[in-house]
Amino acid sequence: MFQTEQIRVGGFDSNFSYLVRNGTDCAIVDPCGDVEKIHAAWNAAKSAIPFLKSTYILLTHSHADHVSGISLVRRFFPAPVCASRFTPLRCDRKLDDGERLPLGEGFLECLLTPGHSPDSICYRTSDDSALFTGDTLFVGCCGFCRAEPMFASLRRLRALPDCLTVYSGHDYGEFPSDSLGRQKRVNPYLSAETLAQFRERLRHLE
Ligand SMILES: [Fe+2]
């Protein structure tokens, strides 16, 4: 069973990092902000599950506020850094669309979702419990973007199961996380039906 811990790491602008584990495998998504908080969450998880392994460090994209903690996190969590194959950063593993990263008995599916940045990527847990969306999809809005690729990326996310919990890169919404099903109904960027409508709605993005 996958378990996700959302960590308020502060950082540049109410950033989130995540600890996601399944069995004895564990990944950190977006190592950034106050790394001591990530360290504390890791220590607590390890004391609950003694053989917990540091399996991956996953980046949702290369913007500085999401990757600022890589070197500090690697001191206590020595795992390969994985990112989209379009990342401009040096990393250990470059991920393709649809690639499956084994985690415990399940996997994380990689979805390349350009728009906010060319290297934006989302990660979906194979039990459909969690979707890590970085700055592609926020609770209630989406990241600054180029309209055309973002519209296509959001349409892909919209096709995923309602039961997924959206875990984004910043705490910008009315809740820190929400079900994808609810976001499909209430998020005007996710619910846009046409590119023209999406472009119109983007004009209201602050
Ligand atoms: Fe960003």
Per-residue pLDDT of the chain (206 residues; tens, 9 = 90+): 999 999 999 978 999 999 999 999 999 999 999 999 999 999 999 999 989 999 999 999 999 999 999 999 999 999 999 999 999 999 999 999 999 999 999 999 999 999 999 999 999 999 999 999 999 999 999 999 999 999 999 999 999 999 999 999 999 999 999 999 999 999 999 999 999 999 999 998 86
Coil, helix or strand at residue 100: strand
Asked if residue 136 lies in contact with residue 78, where contact means CB atoms within 8 angstroms, the answer is no
Find all residues with CB under 8 Å of 115, minimum gap 6, and list them.
Answer: 136, 142, 143, 145, 146, 147, 149, 150, 151, 152, 153, 154
Output the CA 111–ligand 1 centroid distance in Å.
16
- What is the CATH number assigned to the segment(s) 2-86+96-202? 3.60.15.10
The set of long-range contacts for 183-188, using a CB threshold of 8 Å and a minimum separation of 24, is 183/137, 183/139, 183/140, 184/158, 186/140, 187/137, 187/139, 187/140, 187/141, 187/142, 188/141
- Is residue 55 within 8 A of residue 81, CB to CB? The reply is no
Reported pTM: 0.97
Report CA(146)–ligand 1 centroid distance (Å). Answer: 13
C-alpha of residue 63 to centroid of ligand 1, in Å: 5
Looking only at the bridges linking them, the beta strands covering 130-134 and 165-168 are parallel
Distance 3 CA to ligand 1 centre (A): 25
